[in-house]
Structure 1
Amino acid sequence: MSVADPHTEPRPTSASGKPLTSRGEATRARILEAAEHVFADLGYHEASIVKITERAGIGLGTFYLYFDGKQQVFEELVVDLNRRVRRSMSDAMAGATDRISAERAGFEGFFRFTAAHPALYRVVREAEFVSPATMRLHYTRIVEGYEAGLRAAQQAGDVDTALDPEVTAWALMGAGELIGMRYLLWDRGADGSAPAEMPASVIDDMARFIRNALAPRTTPEGQS
């Protein structure tokens, strides 16, 4: 898995568009963290700004210094989760020596993030109805970097050149999302707790699947 570098994206601003101080960035991050829990627990329509500010430990006036209302904080949460999950994948891939290793490391980073932040699933699914453009932004930001990485790997001879990079990027991203849903979101222990991490056997099987899907094909001798 390859993603656009999230480290180079613009820093967040206040509701008025002014740059934030370090303290302002910390407050904004606390609001988004609270929103992550409230939207995940209650859903968009049942969530409220009051519940978000109560969880964040701030007043309503402070909230409006950073966001115009519930829809904006929801959309900014999708963008923030997207940035953080891409950072988790990008950091995990650093130092990978070949494409298959990079793919495995990227998915491991994705699964680590989603195990710690299962709200990603509910928030993105709700975005389909609350803010379709933001949902599309979430997926396209991942796919754009993913596709570029596959094209580079094809040029380097690491990936089958017969594959369409865009189709392949969407297919693998979709597979990773559903695998995460199956083994991280739905599985529960005897006490009802969610898994803390993706089982190693699942990652091994997924890496094998990816290797078989991406590896360059060799033409048998005597065939054209």
Structure 2
Amino acid sequence: MAKDTRDKLINSSRILFAQNWYETVSVAEICRHAGLSNGVFYRYFKSKEELFRALIDDFLVCFRQKLETIDGNSLDVRLHSFFIKVYRICFDMAPDVTIFREGQYRFPEYEANLRTLYVEALEKVYKRTVDEAEYLYITAGLRFLNTRALYDEVKFEIKIVERFILKGVFNNESAEELKFLEPGPFDSNLNDNAANRLIHAGIRLFGERGFTSVNVFEIAREADLSVGAFYLYFPSKENFLAKIVSYIGHSVRYYLRNKQVLSHNRLNQELEGMWNFVNYFKEFPEFYEIIREAEFVSREWVKDYYDRFARGYEKNMDDYPEQEQRTMANFLIGLNHYLGIEMVLCERRDDLAEIILRMGEFLSEGIQV
């Protein structure tokens, strides 16, 4: 009986958290969905957070079990098994993946836990230690494409991604005379008017405390304006966040364009772009936090944010098959995205140039099997 009751709470919360943002789901709603009284909830869980964490822990156990079934008598067979399992887990466990992604944002230790599972699996595949660049190159593009396919209808074929990883993207190109420019200058690219003062205030507050913990009055006060002035420019706090997401995307692209050096090959451009991308977010780490939280408020805003980056990539891909351009664009965005998470949010490494150069080898020749 006790197990059945606990299972009802787990199952109902899984449904609700997969469909709704964590902040909008209440204990009362979970109990109502499970057909139980509110008092029953606290016999099994101390809080909504404890229940949410239990769902995340369950997912990680299942994820580990699936990765443990990787097999094969040769390295290439084991790698193929790894790719297929990571690809399928995303779609076979879509509700749990959705919950876990929000858990990663709220509780950063879960990203570290997931990273450990990936590294352990890859070391089983390779039967040796896997370095940082190998881990990122093998997992980042696939993880990002999985997310885009699951939430943004970006379709891709796993065999194309597998080829990018094993054989490279910019075949027969080599990184020569790379120009890793000094970071900056970092121009806000905003005029000093009331709307932009509000945007700057929102970025400061959302970056420090998160979207849900900040109200309109605090934003207006931070900008030295009235609440009425806020609503003169933005109909709601949600619309305000959408404008901030758009501003962040524009600012990043503006910076990358200004830092771009006319390199003689596409590989150089990509590696120099990685350097500039990560250094930009080192200067504005709050941008990363805001974009990640925005995903759970409205995925459409974040979809547009990444779609604009992808279109920028695709403009320079005329030499590649049209059916592969979108996959390639998102694969490369994924490398930048997860490299940034490692360097900016997790601060695990400080050898950015060395890792980028190693990634350049993989982009040119692929992961050697």
TM-score by length of 2: 0.44
Q: Which residue does the alignment assign to 2:27? A: none
Residue identity opposite 2:310 in structure 1: V
1:91 is aligned, of 258, 275, 282, to 258
Shift of 1:57: 2.4
Q: Which residue does the alignment assign to 2:332? A: 172
Q: Show CA shifts across 1:107-158 (max 9, x none).
A: 2221122111112222222222211110100110100111221x23x26xxx
Q: Show CA shifts across 1:32-78 (max 9, x none).
A: 12111211222221111122222222222322232122111100000
Question: Hey, which of these two has a bigger chunk of helix by percent?
Answer: 2
- 5+ unaligned residues in a row in structure 1: which ranges? 1-10, 13-21, 156-160, 189-194, 214-224
- Looking at structure 1, the residues matched to 311 and 364 of structure 2 have their Cα atoms a distance apart, in angstroms, of 21
SS of 1:187's equivalent in the other structure is coil
- Looking at structure 2, the residues matched to 104 and 127 of structure 1 have their Cα atoms a distance apart, in angstroms, of 28
CA change 1:162–1:34 in 2 (3 A) is closer
Shift of 1:23: 5.0
Matched, 1:76 2:229: no
Matched, 1:210 2:363: yes
CA contact (8 A) 1:184 1:198 kept: no
Higher Rg: 2
Matched, 1:138 2:305: yes
- Percent of aligned pairs sharing the same letter: 25
Matched, 1:56 2:209: no
Q: Which residue does the alignment assign to 1:36? A: 203
Q: Which residue does the alignment assign to 2:353? A: 200
Q: How many residues align?
A: 178
TM-score by length of 1: 0.70
Q: Which residue does the alignment assign to 1:182? A: 342
Q: Which residue does the alignment assign to 1:112? A: 279
CA change 1:95–1:69 in 2 (3 A) is same
- Looking at structure 2, the residues matched to 74 and 198 of structure 1 have their Cα atoms a distance apart, in angstroms, of 33
Q: Which residue does the alignment assign to 1:217? A: none
- Looking at structure 2, the residues matched to 49 and 56 of structure 1 have their Cα atoms a distance apart, in angstroms, of 11
Note the aligned Cα RMSD (angstroms): 2.6
SS of 1:164's equivalent in the other structure is helix
- Looking at structure 1, the residues matched to 264 and 327 of structure 2 have their Cα atoms a distance apart, in angstroms, of 24
- Looking at structure 2, the residues matched to 123 and 110 of structure 1 have their Cα atoms a distance apart, in angstroms, of 16
Residue identity opposite 2:252 in structure 1: V
- 5+ unaligned residues in a row in structure 2: which ranges? 1-188
- Looking at structure 1, the residues matched to 361 and 195 of structure 2 have their Cα atoms a distance apart, in angstroms, of 41
